[in-house]
Amino acid sequence: MSASAVALTLIFGTVAVGSFIGFYVGARYKMDLEQWTVAGRGFGLVLVWLLMAGEVYTTFTFLGASGCAYSRGGPALYILGYQPLVFVVSFFIVPQVWEVGRKYGLQTQADFFQVRYRNKYLAAFVALVGVVFIIPYLQLQLTGLGIIVEVASSQGIGRTPAMLVAFALVAAFVFASGVRGVAWVCVLKDLLLLAAALFVGIAVPYIYFGGVGQMFAALLRARPHHLVMPGTTPNLGHAWYVSTVLLTAVGFFMWPQNFAASFTAKSGDTLRRNAVVMPLYSITMPLMLLVGFTAVLILPGMSNGDLALLTLVRKTFPAWFLGLIGGAGALTAMVPAAILILSAATLFVKNLYRPIFAPSMTDDQVAKLARIMVLVITAVALFFAIHSSTTLVSLLILGYAGVAQFFPGVVLGLYSRRVTMPGVFAGLVAGISIGAILMLGKRDPFFGLNAGFLGLCGNLAVTAVVSLLSPIKPSGLDESFPESAVP
Amino acid sequence: MLKRPSFGSLLLGLIPFVGTCFSVSLWDRIYPLVFGLPFNFFWLTSWLALTPLCMWGAYRLETRRDPESQPPNKGADAA
């Protein structure tokens, strides 16, 4: 067998084992909408941890972080900076979101807006924005899968056919397993990724330089400015760092899939304890950055940094090892992709299509249509993945610029009675417009600041002003949280 | 409306934000190297462990305030 054949066989073997776990777990439960989307709300600490971690470790961790460290240098530290802050933010809002979710039987993020602001058009708009910004994140996962197969086959299989195979696998996986199957495959994927990160992050600098410290010393001699901001970029300095870290820290749990993942928990306390320990889980991030920094000296001049990790592994280790790493990477793309598709399909059907166009649909019909949407959404992301060459980190930041705009509506909605439906609606439109205008006009970063962050600032201002100008309506959360509960 | 988090736990939550985000111009430097790591890289990595410490404090404050959200029996919570 040739080296590429060995590597590819191992990759597909790993994917097959992962898919089997998903199908097996999924097949044991009858799949109605509640089971498919929130697994009957029965997950304890361990499974919620895995499901949330499943969404922390994506292809971005695997290929994007090292790619960013390779091609941008210092600014890649933002990835390390925002990780712990995500869980600080979640500590203060996710248990509360869970509580509302349990009380009203919420399944999606848009459900939350529906219950709090009592307006189906706002909920439908939230669903639409969620689906639109899930697409680039899904595109990121499919591109990652394509890169893995491309590098493992020594460029013998093109990225487009590789992504077509990935598309079929992911869609089949989602159909069969729902969220319960996905959570269990996370176990396998996270173990593999952790092992890969520990091994590659430590071993590769050791093999070439005799240790991590020696690698940094060599890098400092050759590229003294690579490791501090703005690194190799002209304009990603400290202002960009602060604005991007804030945007992503508040944005993480605004991703529809992460927001909905909290509904799978058994108790709010589970989520609070989760938030305390989760930053430790990000220990793979510095290791992945080490790989990227090492690649700067070993593989200079690569045009696409996202290929750095796998190319480095291919150059350093035997083919079977590349196969194992590639298999771990493939699962790391497939599992989050499945979660993303599941969330987008449910949002589209449950909060956009049914309330606006077909109010008489039954839950069974909703579940059926959701499965058709799985194919449609994946196909759209595949189309973009094939026709664009954006780096993984750019796709990630684009997605965050969109979903972070939900933050004012969620947080103010939880804690303030003064915020109104027109305020949140106008703020959301303003935030997305500002971000879109700056990004499409190539003005990102704008005076050193992240465009999505500026959108969020505009969003907050508009939400506040319009809320103050519009009449107060009773909050949808009030009946079950009577006045006496307010301190 | 939901109960707002206590001032103390919000303050504890602010510490990681100051440490890893707002103070960037103070720690974004190479030297002094720590265990051979550039200072900025070492600093951010250590916050992966320091943040849970802060939030553990916040957790203690929040659960003491609200007896209903005391952790349930350990056995009942296992997945």
CATH number of the domain where residue A302 is located: 1.20.1730.10
Tell me what the pLDDT averaged over chain B comes to. Answer: 83
Chain A residues inside the 8 Å CB shell of B73: none
Q: Is residue A67 very low, low, confident or very high in pLDDT (cuts 50, 70, 90)?
A: very high
Given a contact cutoff of 8 angstroms between Cβ atoms, the answer to whether A80 and A283 are in contact is: no
Cβ-defined contact of B37 to A220 (cutoff 8 Å)? no
Distance CA A208, CA A313 (A): 12
Q: Is B47 on the interface with A (CB under 8 A)?
A: yes
For residue A245, give the nearest of B21, B71, B77 by CB distance: B21
Position A484 scores a pLDDT of 34
Neighbours of A457 (CB within 10 A): 16
Distance between B73 CA and the closest CA of chain A, angstroms: 12
Q: Is A302 exposed, middle or buried (0-12, 13-18, 19+ CB in 10 A)?
A: middle
Q: Is B26 on the interface with A (CB under 8 A)?
A: no
Residue A218 pLDDT exceeds 90: yes
Chain A residues inside the 8 Å CB shell of B1: 414-417, 475, 477-478, 481, 485-486
Distance CA A74, CA B66 (A): 43
CA A245 to chain centre: 15
Tell me what the pLDDT averaged over chain A comes to. Answer: 85
Average pLDDT over residues A204-231: 92
For residue A91, give the nearest of B29, B58, B79 by CB distance: B58
Given a contact cutoff of 8 angstroms between Cβ atoms, the answer to whether A38 and A260 are in contact is: yes
- Calculate the dihedral angle through the C-alpha atoms of A302, A5, A175, A254, rounding to the nearest 10 degrees: -20
Distance CA B51, CA B68 (A): 25
Amino acid (one-letter) located at B59: Y
Q: Is B73 on the interface with A (CB under 8 A)?
A: no
Indicate whether this model's pTM tops 0.80.
yes
Position B63 scores a pLDDT of 84
3-class SS of residue A449: strand
The answer to whether position A424 is within a domain reads no
Substitution target in A227, A266, A274 with the highest count of B β-carbons within 10 Å is A227
Q: Is B78 on the interface with A (CB under 8 A)?
A: yes
Q: For B57, name the nearest residue in chain A, comparing CA atoms only.
A: A276
Position A53 scores a pLDDT of 66
Position A302 scores a pLDDT of 87
The answer to whether position A69 is within a domain reads yes
pLDDT tens-digit readout, A352-371? 988 888 888 887 787 788 88
Chain B residues inside the 8 Å CB shell of A92: 5, 9-10, 13
Substitution target in A25, A61, A91 with the highest count of B β-carbons within 10 Å is A91
Least confident of A46-60, A127-141, A406-420: A46-60
Average pLDDT over residues A182-205: 84
Average pLDDT over residues A120-130: 94
Average pLDDT over residues B10-31: 93
Residue A487 pLDDT exceeds 50: no
Residue B21 pLDDT exceeds 60: yes
Question: Taking each helix axis from N to C terminus, what angle separates A421-440 and A120-152, rounded to the nearest 10 degrees?
Answer: 30
pLDDT tens-digit readout, A9-21? 888 888 888 777 7
Cβ-defined contact of B24 to A238 (cutoff 8 Å)? yes
Q: Is B11 on the interface with A (CB under 8 A)?
A: no
Share of chain A above pLDDT 90, in %: 37
Residue A215 pLDDT exceeds 80: yes
Domain that holds residue A350: 3-389
Distance between B15 CA and the closest CA of chain A, angstroms: 10
Cα dihedral sign for A352, A358, A361, A367? negative
Cβ-defined contact of A269 to B48 (cutoff 8 Å)? no
Position A485 scores a pLDDT of 35
CA A65 to chain centre: 13
Position A286 scores a pLDDT of 93
Residue A384 pLDDT exceeds 60: yes
When divided into structural domains, chain A yields a total of 1
Substitution target in A43, A269, A280, A290 with the highest count of B β-carbons within 10 Å is A269
Question: What is chain A's alpha carbon radius of gyration, rounded to the nearest angstrom?
Answer: 22
Q: Is A216 on the interface with B (CB under 8 A)?
A: yes
* Region for residue A154 given its phi and psi (left: phi exceeds 0; alpha: psi -120 to 50; beta: otherwise): left
Residue A219 pLDDT exceeds 90: yes
Q: For A96, name the nearest residue in chain B, comparing CA atoms only.
A: B2
Distance between B24 CA and the closest CA of chain A, angstroms: 7
Cβ-defined contact of A229 to B28 (cutoff 8 Å)? yes
Tell me how many helices (H) and strands (E) chain B has: 4, 0
Cβ-defined contact of A216 to B5 (cutoff 8 Å)? no
Taking every pair of Cα atoms in chain B, the longest distance, rounded to a whole number of angstroms, is: 50
Residue A43 pLDDT exceeds 60: no
- Better-scored residue on pLDDT, A108 or A173: A108
* Structural domain spans, chain B: 9-64
Average pLDDT over residues A408-424: 92
The backbone torsions φ and ψ at residue A168, rounded to the nearest 5 degrees and listed phi first, read -65, -45
Average pLDDT over residues A384-390: 83
Q: Is residue A39 very low, low, confident or very high in pLDDT (cuts 50, 70, 90)?
A: low
3-class SS of residue A286: helix
pLDDT tens-digit readout, A308-330? 999 999 999 998 888 888 888 88
Cα angle: A128, vertex A130, A132; to 5 degrees: 70
Cβ-defined contact of B55 to A275 (cutoff 8 Å)? yes
What ipTM score was computed for the predicted complex, to two decimals? 0.86
Least confident of A53-62, A112-121, A328-337: A53-62
Cβ-defined contact of A275 to B63 (cutoff 8 Å)? no
For residue B52, give the nearest of A95, A245, A276 by CB distance: A276
Percent helix / strand / coil, chain B, rounded to 5: 70, 5, 30
Position A217 scores a pLDDT of 94
Position A23 scores a pLDDT of 73
Residue A175 is inside which H or E element, if any?
helix A159-209
Question: Taking each helix axis from N to C terminus, what angle separates A77-104 and A284-298, rounded to the nearest 10 degrees?
Answer: 150
Given a contact cutoff of 8 angstroms between Cβ atoms, the answer to whether A403 and A164 are in contact is: no
Position A486 scores a pLDDT of 32
Residue B12 pLDDT exceeds 90: yes
Cβ-defined contact of B1 to A214 (cutoff 8 Å)? no
Q: Is residue A114 very low, low, confident or very high in pLDDT (cuts 50, 70, 90)?
A: very high
Neighbours of A370 (CB within 10 A): 23
Distance between A27 CA and the closest CA of chain B, angstroms: 19
Q: For B22, name the nearest residue in chain A, comparing CA atoms only.
A: A242
Q: Is B7 exposed, middle or buried (0-12, 13-18, 19+ CB in 10 A)?
A: exposed
Given a contact cutoff of 8 angstroms between Cβ atoms, the answer to whether A252 and A90 are in contact is: yes
Position A445 scores a pLDDT of 85
pLDDT tens-digit readout, A93-108? 999 998 888 888 888 8
Q: Is B53 on the interface with A (CB under 8 A)?
A: no
- Cβ within 8 Å of residue A478, ≥6 positions away: A417, B1
Residue A138 in tokens: 């899904």
Distance between A72 CA and the closest CA of chain B, angstroms: 15
Position A121 scores a pLDDT of 94
Chain A residues inside the 8 Å CB shell of B37: 212-213, 216
Question: What is chain B's alpha carbon radius of gyration, rounded to the nearest angstrom?
Answer: 17
* Region for residue A118 given its phi and psi (left: phi exceeds 0; alpha: psi -120 to 50; beta: otherwise): left
